[in-house]
């Protein structure tokens, strides 16, 4: 059983093809692992029956030699994706009991390629958070621990359940969504790979919306190859999403090991902050050396508007969210708390249904869109967003790729008191700019902090150059030789 859990997706797919393992066996191993690691609270629901049925169907297709790219591979789904007949709540009480009658485009693409659904994964409420602490389904613990301190650490967020589950080997791969770093930051905290593709690559149809102009789905997996394999299946041009792009995805797996000889890599001088741990800087420098050793040239570059990215993000995202979340009004689905009038019913329902962080962002968003403040906040933020986008356009005239730290620190313990929201928001300081610019970025595990927790490096490529991203990611992965396993992973 342990053997099944240690296989990468690429290895498992090969083993399924040569019949050395079956999809049912593999799925049972992961269902067992999900059960065994329940204490982490990574899953909100394990869909045993569905998983077994899908695995059987996969074995039947494999027997006929008909398997798809992800045939028989067990995958966890972030609770932000609508899954037909399976409760989907975005980890919010306001959607309690909501079972969609439709499947999100991204998950449908995965099932069409043969993947097996293990269940729904915990996340921050409506994907708003950086520690998976805002979930109405409870906090998620990282499978990583620090020797001797007995504390639970944050898996990052918002895709905290996804990253924790992949790191804990309770899923082979998992879907995530990234609005300002929600794939890359938890991937870094949990020592796994996460890709936020170019905005528009993955359809947003059927994904509970947080901030429409920023939301992008992407894979979280154990290796760069696995994440590339999964990403290739997730993307599609979807007529059900007007912002979905027609640009064809290059064949990632076909060139993933081609190397990066001659690649020009930018090291942006703005990606540092006061009080940033030396070991983060050290990792960054090491990453630079790895890329140079593989034949790339690294140069210092500047993205001058980087310092405006976080404040810009915290205007644009809440503004869109305040409007996107207006549909949760208790009228048609989800929770309702009755009241003496329509307005009272709204107030009661939304006060009971939304958690503190979601409420805060709705209030911020409503404020920045209000008459008299719109120009000073929303319009200003749109302008700075354009400047930030231009920074990337300019820098990518000079270089093919950017290398930055993924996060300003390693994971922090859960339940820290007196953490003000702004301190929490600073977690996303290195991931937010790529989200605002819509360019693809990935987080690759690069080493361990002195306390034994994982650290990650971020690679950022020009729009639609996920091929560059995975080639460089593969180089970092090989050079880093990251082999550590989380202490609370299944089978450890």
Partner 1 sequence: MTDNSNLVEGRSGLWEVVIGLEVHAQVTSQSKLFSGSSASFGAGPNEHVSLVDAAMPGMLPVINKYCVEQAVKTGLGLNARVNLFSVFDRKNYFYADLPQGYQISQFKQPIIGEGEITIDLKDGTSRQIGIERLHLEQDAGKSLHDQHPSKSYIDLNRSGVALMEIVSRPDMRSAEEAAAYVTKLRSILRFLGTCDGNMEEGSMRADVNVSVRRPGEELGTRTETKNLNSIRFIGQAINAEVARQIEIIEDGGAIDQETRLFDTSTGQTRSMRSKEDAHDYRYFPDPDLLPLQFEQSWVDEIKANLPELPDALKARLMEQYGLTSYDATVIAEDLETAAFYEKVADGRDAKLASNWMTVELFGALNKMGKTLAESPVTPEKLGALVGLIGDGTISGRIAKDVFAEMIETGGDPDAIIEEKGLKQVSDTGAIEAMIDEVIAANMDKVEEYRGGKDKLFGFFVGQVMKASKGQANPGMVNQMLKAKLDG
Query: Which of 13, 196, 205, 305 forms a contact with partner 1 (CB under 8 A)?
Result: 205
Question: Which of 102/425 has CB closer to partner 1?
Answer: 102
Full 3-state SS string of 196-215:
ECCCCCCCCCCECCCCCCCC
CB atoms within 10 A of CB 228: 29
Catalytic-role residue among 158, 203, 236, 463: 158
Taking residues 356 to 395 in sequence order and writing x for each that binds partner 1 by CB under 8 A, - otherwise, the string is ----------x--xxx--x---x-----------------
Q: Is 323 in the site for partner 1 (CB under 8 A)?
A: yes
The rounded Cα 22 to chain-centroid distance in angstroms is 29
Nearest Cα to Cα of residue 117 among 166, 67, 208, 47: 47
Distance separating alpha carbons of residues 454 and 279, to the nearest angstrom:
11
The stretch among 55-63, 97-105, 276-284, 389-397 that binds partner 1 (CB under 8 A) is 97-105
Element (H, E) at 472: helix 466-480
The stretch among 128-136, 219-227, 324-332, 383-391 that binds partner 1 (CB under 8 A) is 324-332
Is 244 annotated as catalytic? no
CB atoms within 10 A of CB 483: 7
Q: Is 348 in the site for partner 1 (CB under 8 A)?
A: no
Specify the residue for token string 């930030």.
Answer: 388
Distance separating alpha carbons of residues 206 and 408, to the nearest angstrom:
32
* Closest CB 242 distance from partner 1, rounded Å: 5
Q: Show Cβ contacts of residue 418 under 8 Å, excluding neighbours closer than 6 positions.
A: none
- As a residue count, the chain comes to 492
Specify the residue for token string 């009038």.
Answer: 341
Residue 184's Cβ-count burial label (10 Å; 0-12, 13-18, 19+) is: buried
Is 78 annotated as catalytic? yes
Catalytic-role residue among 22, 50, 58, 78: 78
Query: Which of 332, 375, 417, 481 forms a contact with partner 1 (CB under 8 A)?
Result: 332
Q: Is 243 in the site for partner 1 (CB under 8 A)?
A: yes
* Closest CB 42 distance from partner 1, rounded Å: 22
* Closest CB 326 distance from partner 1, rounded Å: 2
Instruction: List contacts with partner 1 (CB under 8 A).
Output: 81-82, 88, 90, 95, 98, 100-102, 104, 204-209, 211-213, 239-243, 319-320, 322-323, 325-327, 329, 331-333, 342-343, 346, 366, 369-371, 374, 378
Active site residues: 78, 158, 182
């Amino acid at each position: 059983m342990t053997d099944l859990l240690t296989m990468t997706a690429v290895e498992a797919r090969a083993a399924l093809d040569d019949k050395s393992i079956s999809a049912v066996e593999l799925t049972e191993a992961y269902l067992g692992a999900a059960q065994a690691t329940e204490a982490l609270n990574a899953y909100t629901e394990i869909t045993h029956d569905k998983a077994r049925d899908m695995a059987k169907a996969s074995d039947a297709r494999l027997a006929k030699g008909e398997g798809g790219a992800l045939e028989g591979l067990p995958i966890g789904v972030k609770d932000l994706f609508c899954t037909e007949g399976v409760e989907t709540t975005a980890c919010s009480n306001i959607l309690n009991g909501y079972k969609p009658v439709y499947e999100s485009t991204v998950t449908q693409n995965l099932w069409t390629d043969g993947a097996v659904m293990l269940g729904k994964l915990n996340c921050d409420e409506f994907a708003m958070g950086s520690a998976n602490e805002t979930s109405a389904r409870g906090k998620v613990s990282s499978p990583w621990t620090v020797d001797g301190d007995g504390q639970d650490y944050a898996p990052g967020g918002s895709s905290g359940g996804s990253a924790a589950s992949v790191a804990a080997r309770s899923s082979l791969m998992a879907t995530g969504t990234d609005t300002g770093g929600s794939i890359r930051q938890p991937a870094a905290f949990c020592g796994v790979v996460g890709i936020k593709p170019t905005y528009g690559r993955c359809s947003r149809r059927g994904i509970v919306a947080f901030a429409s102009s920023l939301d992008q789905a992407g894979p979280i997996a154990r290796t760069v190859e696995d994440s590339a394999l999964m990403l290739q299946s997730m993307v599609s041009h979807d007529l059900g999403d007007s912002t979905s792009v027609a640009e064809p995805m290059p064949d990632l797996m076909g060139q993933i090991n081609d190397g990066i000889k001659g690649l020009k890599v930018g090291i942006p001088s703005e990606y540092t902050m006061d009080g940033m741990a030396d070991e983060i800087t050290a990792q960054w420098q090491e990453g630079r050396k790895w890329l140079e050793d593989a034949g790339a040239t690294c140069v210092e570059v500047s993205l001058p508007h980087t310092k405006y990215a976080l404040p810009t993000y915290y205007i644009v995202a809440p503004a869109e969210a305040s409007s996107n979340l207006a549909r949760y009004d208790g009228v048609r689905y989800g929770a309702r708390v009755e009241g003496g009038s329509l307005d009272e019913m709204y107030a009661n329902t939304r006060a009971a249904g939304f958690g503190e962080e979601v409420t805060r962002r709705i209030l911020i968003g409503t404020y920045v869109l209000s008459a008299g403040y719109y120009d000073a906040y929303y319009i200003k933020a749109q302008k700075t967003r354009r400047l930030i986008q231009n920074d990337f356009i300019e820098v990518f005239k000079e270089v093919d790729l950017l290398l930055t730290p993924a996060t300003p620190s390693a994971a922090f313990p859960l339940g820290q008191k007196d953490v003000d929201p702004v301190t929490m928001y600073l977690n996303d300081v290195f991931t937010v700019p790529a989200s605002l610019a819509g360019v693809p970025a990935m987080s690759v595990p690069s080493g361990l902090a002195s306390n034994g927790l994982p650290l990650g490096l971020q690679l950022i490529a020009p729009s639609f150059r996920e091929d560059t991203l995975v080639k460089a990611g593969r180089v970092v992965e090989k050079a880093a030789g990251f082999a550590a396993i989380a202490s609370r992973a299944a089978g450890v």
